[in-house]
Amino acid sequence: MSNQIRANSILPAHREDIELHTADGVTLVGELARPLDRDPVATLVCLHPLPTHGGMMDSHIYRKAAWRLPALAGIAVLRFNTRGTSSTRGTSGGTFGKSVDERFDVAAAIEFAEFADLPNIWLVGWSFGTDLTLMYGLEPSVAGAVLLSPPLRFSQPEHLAAWAEDGKPLTALIPEFDDYLRPAEAVERFAAIPQAEVVPMPGGKHLWVGDAEKVIDEIVRRVAPEVATPLPSTWDGPMETGDASAYANRTVAAFDKI
C-alpha cells in the first residue's frame, strides 16, 4: 500500500549522529543520513541559513532532504550546525563568527565527508550558507555547488572570480520574489562566473515555504542526473513520522531577515 509522503514523513535510511572537529578546536554537532541498501550516488553537505535568525541544520529543506533523499534518490545527506548554532540535535561549540570563523566549519564538514569515503560531494548552501559556499567551498574533493536564495552578502567579487577560474559547476536557484536577490539581478551578478547556471523559480520566496519539493528536485537534477525527477510523492515501504512540535519555536519564519 502506497502512503503519501508528507512534510514530516521520514523514509528509511542509515542515520547517525556525528561530530565535526574544526582546525581551531571547535566541536560541531550534525547528522549523516545514507541509503540503507546501497552505496550513495552523491553526497550533499548542507550549509544552513543565518543562525542568528533561526537558521540551523533542521531548516525545513535540509530536514526534508535528509528524511527523503537516501531512500528516494540514493543520496547521502550531511547536515550540521555551524558554531554556536542549536537544533534538536544539540548545540555546536563556539560562537557565531560572522562568516569568518565559519571557514573552519566548512572545511571540517568537507573533511568528514572525505574520510567517510562519501562520493560525489556537492555543497548545498541556503542564504547565509551560500556565502559560506562561495567563500570556502572550492576544495578539491567538492564536485560542485547548488545555491538556494543567495543574497551575496558576505561573499565578495574575488570569491566569484575564484569559482570562475576553477570551473566547477555552480547552480543558483533564485526565487521570483526573493527579498534580497531576484532573478534579473542574479543573472547580472553571476555573469562573473561563466559556468554558473541561474535558475529563476517562479512564485518562490526566500524561505521556500511550500516549495521544498521543487527545490529538492532541482538539487537532485544537478547532483544525480541519472535519478528520475520529480521524485515520487508516495512510498510503498515503512515510513515514520517526525515530531513537528520539535520545531515549533524554530520555524522558517525565524530567519525571515538575513
Cβ atoms within 10 Å of 253's Cβ, excluding its own = 10
Instruction: Please give the model's pTM, rounded to 2 decimal places.
Output: 0.95
Q: How many structural domains is the chain composed of? A: 1
pLDDT value at 251 more than 80: no
Q: Could you give the CA distance from residue 205 to residue 149 in angstroms, rounded to a whole number?
A: 8
Q: Mean pLDDT throughout 139-164?
A: 98
pLDDT confidence of residue 250: 53
Per-residue pLDDT of 17-42, as tens digits, reads 999 999 999 999 999 999 999 999 99
Rounded to a whole number, what is the distance in angstroms from the first to the last CA of the chain?
A: 43
Query: Rounded CA gap, 223 and 205, in Å?
Result: 23
pLDDT band (50, 70, 90) for residue 112:
very high
Q: Which amino acid is at 216?
A: I
Instruction: Give the other-Cβ count within 10 Å of 85's Cβ.
Output: 26
Chain center to CA of 129: 8
pLDDT tens readout for residues 48-58 = 999 999 999 99
pLDDT digits (tens, 9 = 90+) for 185-239: 999 999 999 999 999 999 999 999 999 999 999 999 999 999 999 999 999 999 9
Question: Where in the sequence is the domain holding 68, given as residue range(s)?
Answer: 3-255
How far apart, in whole angstroms, are the C-alpha atoms of residue 217 and residue 199? 13
Any idea what the CATH number is for the domain that residue 86 is in?
Answer: 3.40.50.1820
Residues of the chain with pLDDT > 70, as a percent, come to: 94
Given this model, what pLDDT does residue 253 score? 42
